[in-house]
Amino acid sequence: MSAPVSEVVVWLILGLPVASFVLIAALYPVLRRYPAPAGWIAMLAIGGSLGISVWLLMEAIGAAGRPLDFETHELVDVGSLLITIGIRLDGLTAVMTVVVTAVSLLVQVYSTGYMRGDRGYARYFAYMSLFTAAMLGLVLVDNLVVLFAFWELVGLASYLLIGFWFHKPAAAAAAKKAFLVTRAGDLGLLAALIFIWVRAGTLDIATINTEVVGAVELGLLGQTTLTLFAVGLVAGAVGKSAQFPLHIWLPDAMEGPTPVSALIHAATMVVAGVYLLGRFFPVLEASATASDLIAWIGVGTALGAGLVAVVQTDIKRVLAYSTISQIGYMMFALGTGAYAAAFFHLMTHAFFKALLFLGAGSVNHATNTFDMRRMGGLRTVMPVTYLTFVIGALSLSGVIPLAGFWSKDEILIEAWDHQPAIFAIALVASGLTAFYMFRAIVLTFHGSYRGGGQPEPGGHGGDAAHPHESSWSMRGVLVLLAVPAVAAGFLTFGGEFQTWVLGALPHPEEGHFVFDLGVFLASTIVAAAGIGGAVAIYRLRLINVAALRTGMLRPVYRALESKLYMDLLVEDWLVRRFFHGGLVKAMARVDEQGVDRALDGVWHVSFEAGRWGRLVQNGQVQMMAVALVAGGVVVWGAVVLFWA
Amino acid sequence: MGEGFPILSILVFLPLAGALLIALLPGQRVPWPAAAVRALPGNQQAHAKWIALAVAFATLVIALVLFVLFDRADSGFQFTDTFLWISAQDAGFDVSYAFGVDGLSMPLVLLTGLLTTIAVLISWRIDVRPKEYFAWLLVLETSVLGVFTSLDLIFFFIFWELELLPMFFLISVWGSGRRSYSAMKFVLFTFFGSAFMLVGFLVMGVVAGTFDMREIQESALAGAVLPVPAIFAFIFLAFGIKLPLVPVHTWLPDAHTDAPTAASVMLAGVLLKMGGYGILRLLFTLMPETAAAADVALAILAAVSIIYGAVITVRQTDLKRLVAYSSVSHMGFVLLGVAGLGVVGMSGAAMQLVTHGLITGMLFVVVGMIYDRTHTRQISAMRGLAHYLPLLSTMLVFAGLAGLGLPALAGFVSEVTVFLGAFGRHEPQTAVALVGVLLAAGYVLWALQRSVFGPRDERWRELQDVRAWWEFLPLGALVSLIVLLGVYPSVVLDVFELGVRPIAEGIAVFQPDIVESEALEVARLGRGG
């Protein structure tokens, strides 16, 4: 069907944030001194993108989520290589653009309050615009190479924003770690795109999903080819979406400003991996190996990250591990065939997780710390933050009738149908979710205030001794985000949401509302148990945690507090000891003392033979030596030639 | 451009003429025409650099005009300029004076013009013997342009050797550290390779009866005193040293590190390219059968260089040396693409020559500017430069990111094209080479983290960020071009394709099974084509 929308308008979605980035960069010398317009430029641009996105969503809904037809343009045409750039606009894209632009706009409004007075205010909004543009490009394009390009660019934006406060060594280190760890996964994606091009001759996403998958079914192309391609995609998704074992970058990424964590490291960029696998869902479906792989990685990550979240003392790290865990849900949903449910959860999660992060930022403004051991009792002084945070936590814990309940339940139902073991593990993780969230709420908002932290250079806090509610721009955004955190789940009742995203598949089906009383009871009981447990332990103190920690559960605590030893394994053993200490050192020794010395030796011998050796340091003699060698060469060449 | 107008001769020899003019400028105490010259504002040194800038810029403009006029439908040599120089038919060979450019050499000529102009600009503050300095720089440009445009083996060789002289002086007089050692090392390595190359050329020329590379056929080389694979290996050695390949790369870090900034830019930006250019222009064009048979070995050499170079780079603690070592890894991609034997791989390899020239050139420019201010190149001695040198730090981050192959910047295009072109023939080698991309991210980000980022350091309080026009111009030009080629690569890639297509066709005669992409029927249908 031909598009009712002009292509230029669609490109504007990402064009506006690009323009914002360029404009802020161009005006930077001025904006550095008078930063306020930077925020306005960025918000105007993203507001425009949001408007267009909503319009496009309406168009996509009108087309039942089926792709609208746009022309594609030649970018590179060399030999047999053709790289095109064009728009892929269907229900999935439309949903993603709306989620990205909506959360992005709200986060930027919040940022005008949160980042006020920061020396890098203008730079911050430039980076945020850059990120939004790259993320929108990622979900809009129709070609795998171009998608990969935007994929890397969101990584760049993430790098710049994690390291935004680059004066902090921890931030600079975290930025580097994030880039490197995700790039390790990106290698898989790069390999996948090279592989599929060499084997199947195309980089067009729709063609891969239809013709190439069809060719495999007809036996024209080996199943192994498809599986290797799918596994490459999974590797890329695992890196970007912080799944085991490449999840280690995300908790460190919390060094970035909190609105960044909300937008990039919770709501949008980290779910790019989910988007990627969803975009190539026909490929994933056609490869049982890849499906099983991502299903087990996802559910394992959901459980493991949930466990680690329980012992975190930093509120943002609780949320970070929670994000890893929740993306695990989306991943195993894709692996178990629950495509629509995965994206439903992606959407609801984007809203309530952004809400929770921004709530944590609000708390940080009041207390100058993210350490929950220094918080407590904020319920009374920060009522808006408290209430919205609780709403977010309830939604995340899957309490009916909030948004998180509907999306999580749908995933659980499909998991139960597909693989009961995955369902069981996911159910445990679900209980953990409720537990760690309410542990965080109790530690942060209940009890008595424990003093807050010291203001740090570049920090934004006020007087931590007397915490106060945050500015209207921050509170307002919290309230606005609480609305979808409550109500976004209602989109499932007529199966509308599912219909939109299913329309993106080659063989779309009608979405429908699923409900299962058994799963509902199980998940509700588990959530209630988690909440009750947290309140009992941390609020009512029915169990002495400190005693447990030093007593019976000491090894468990130690393992969890060491993040299940993953950082140790990768950073210390793999990178520091094996790579730097072993491989690099050994090869450098070979290079310096083997190769270089040996070659130097050759010259040395020839000089000694000519008795010029001792005079080599003298410039005149050097030229004579050169002349000598040159002469020798000519004579030798002549001899070879004419003797023969 | 009318037929027979010797535009390429003008292009090649204009810098040499400029060098002579500078050399003829009166010295500080020479009285004669000084009266006239001294009437001009400024001092003697200033004349040298202004003349150098004018000449380099004029050369760049000519190159740019040629690039625009270049017929993008003609895969042969254009703007040719030929006459018979030595006719020694008694001895059985001819030597002709022949210049020409095709799709392969045209972008490289433009790159040379650009980087020389930049090299002059960033040397604006040279105060040691500036006359000689700028003269040598221009001589260097002539020699490199000569290599890229010569159509005759003898001229190719002469220009190839000519390059040593200015480079030797630039490193040993204006360099730093162990400059004499490094300059000598550079010369000796190159000479060693050249010796073999000359033998190869002479054998080829004598048996073929001509040194004109347009006329030499591999089949005609059968009766030579050396078997064709030996000729190939001899010449390859010279190009391999220049590129450079592991294990004959050790001259490079020393030469780069101790050379003055402009010489490093020229060395990395254009001199290394002569190696990759030579492989395509001479080995793969003149001896396609041997080249096609050697592809596996070449791909292994490439993969080894990429990984070995990158791993050693990780260990470098001197910022300039780090950039230098990264070239070993990046130039390995050139050979990998070439070893793919097809149009895609070779186009990618040629593209890598240009993108590496721009990116590494920019890295050297920025590192040089940082060194001018901080007087250190040790990464451990720097930190938090971004606080006091925000623009220069941004430039370093930009160039570093370009170096690690970030999309929308030039390096990404060439690396991906190389991978796509090489994977079909050399799966394991290409897979190994992919790891180089991760290692590149490792050393670049590590260096940035420690030099640019980190807490404020009061030692840098007094430093001035980029101010002067001669610093802005090169940075601005490089940034624009790196972005342009990253976003719209076809502007150069299409020209390269024109140049490598005949080479690939020549090889395809001996390797008919070259299929870079298996291009399924269904996939072709899906393209909507």
pLDDT interval class at A509 (50, 70, 90) = confident
Average pLDDT of B1-30?
Answer: 79
Helices and strands (DSSP H and E) totals, chain B:
24, 2
| Subunit contact B516:A190, Cβ cutoff 8 A | no
Q: What is the pLDDT of residues A214-252, one digit of tens each?
A: 888 888 888 888 999 999 999 999 999 999 899 999 998
Whether the CB of B220 is below 8 Å from some CB of chain A: the reply is: no
More confident residue, A65 or A641: A65
Find chain B residues with C-beta within 8 A of A214's C-beta: 522
For position B381, what pLDDT does the model report? Answer: 85
Res B17 pLDDT > 60: yes
Q: Count other Cβ atoms within 10 Å, centred on residue B423.
A: 27
Burial class (CB in 10 A: 0-12, 13-18, 19+), A589: exposed
Which pLDDT belongs to residue A628?
54
Percentage of the residues of chain B whose pLDDT score is greater than 90: 54
Q: What is the mean pLDDT of chain A?
A: 86
Question: Has residue A302 got a pLDDT over 90?
Answer: yes
Query: Predicted ipTM?
Result: 0.91
pLDDT of residue B529 exceeding 60, the answer is no
* pLDDT tens column, B292-348: 999 999 999 999 999 999 998 988 889 999 999 999 999 999 999 999 999 999 999
CA–CA separation, B20 and A641 (whole Å): 36
**CA–CA distance, B495 with A159 (Å, rounded to integer):** 35
Quote the mean pLDDT of chain B.
Answer: 87
- Name, in order, each residue with C-beta under 8 angstroms of A142's C-beta and a sequence gap of 6 or more: A70, A72, A84, A85, A86, A87, A88, A204, A205, A206
d(CA B433, CA B310): 10
For the cut 90, the answer to whether the pLDDT of residue B367 exceeds it is: yes
Give CA–CA dist A384/A480, Å, rounded: 11
What is each CA distance from A514 to A414, A519, B320, in whole angstroms? 9, 11, 62
With CB atoms and an 8 Å threshold, state whether B199 touches A640: yes
In this predicted structure, which of A590-604, B12-26, B327-341 has the lowest mean pLDDT? A590-604
| pTM score, whole prediction | 0.91
Asked whether the beta carbons of residue A152 and residue B406 sit closer than 8 angstroms, the reply is yes
Whether the predicted pLDDT of A329 surpasses 60 = yes
Identity of the residue numbered B369: M
B 277-336 residues inside an 8 A Cβ radius of A: 308, 311-312, 314-315
* Cβ density class B253-275: b for 16+ within 10 Å, e for less: bbbbbbbbbbbbbbbbbbbbbbb
Asked if the Cβ–Cβ distance from B517 to A637 is below 8 Å, we say: no
- Segment B208-257, tens digit of pLDDT: 888 888 888 888 888 778 888 999 999 999 999 999 998 888 899 889 99
Q: How confident is the model at residue B2 (pLDDT cuts 50, 70, 90)?
A: very low
Helical pair A272-279 and A91-114, crossing angle rounded to 10 deg: 170
pLDDT given at position A615:
45
Confidence of residue A537 (pLDDT cuts 50, 70, 90): confident
In this structure, what token pair is assigned to residue A259?
A: 């609105």
Of A165-179, A531-545, A594-608, B341-355, the range with the highest mean pLDDT is: B341-355
Question: Mean per-residue pLDDT for A24-31?
Answer: 89
- Is the pLDDT higher at B516 or at B62? B62
Distance CA B41, CA A136 (A): 56
**pLDDT tens-digit map of A148-168:** 999 999 999 999 999 999 888
Interface of B with A in 112-141 (CB under 8 A): none
Whether A191 and chain B come into contact, CB under 8 Å, resolves to yes
Mutate to test the interface with B, among A32, A76, A153, A156 (most CBs of B within 10 A): A76
Rounded Cα distance between B368 and B377, Å, is 9
Does the pLDDT at position B528 exceed 50? no
B271 confidence band (pLDDT: 50, 70, 90): very high
Higher pLDDT, A618 or A535: A535
Instruction: Report whether pLDDT(B93) > 80.
Output: no
- Best probe of the B interface among A77, A135, A578, A591, by most B CBs < 10 A, is A591
**Residue of higher predicted confidence among A338 and A639:** A338
DSSP A138-151: HHHB-BHHHHHHHH
Q: How many CB pairs under 8 A join A and B?
A: 227
pLDDT-derived band at B485 (thresholds 50, 70, 90) equals very high
**Mean pLDDT computed over A6-22:** 92
Range with top average pLDDT, A3-12, B53-62, B166-175, B511-520:
B53-62
Per-position DSSP letters for A495-517, written without gaps between them: THHHHHHHTTSSS---------H
Chain B neighbors of A204, CB-CB under 8 A: 526-527
Which positions in chain A touch B455 (Cβ < 8 Å)?
Answer: 167-169
Question: Is B483 at the interface with chain A, CB within 8 A?
Answer: no
B467 contact A CB<8A: no
User: How many angstroms separate the most distant Cα atoms in chain A?
Assistant: 101
Q: Give the highest mean pLDDT range of A594-598, B177-181, B344-348.
A: B344-348
Of residues A78, A173, A600, nearest to B493 (C-beta): A78
3-state helix, strand and coil shares in percent for chain B, rounded to the nearest 5: 70, 5, 25
- In this predicted structure, the answer to whether residue A562 has a pLDDT above a threshold of 90 is no
The band of B157, judged by pLDDT with boundaries at 50, 70 and 90, is: very high
Give the rounded percent of residues in chain A with a pLDDT score beyond 90. Answer: 48
pLDDT (average), residues B158-178: 90
Confidence grade of residue A113 (pLDDT, cut at 50, 70, 90): confident
Partner B contacted by A635 (CB < 8 A): no
CB of B300 closer than 8 Å to CB of B231: no
Look up residue B522 and give its amino acid: V
Is residue A390's pLDDT more than 90?
yes
- Chain A from 45 to 84: CB within 8 A of any B CB: 72, 75-82
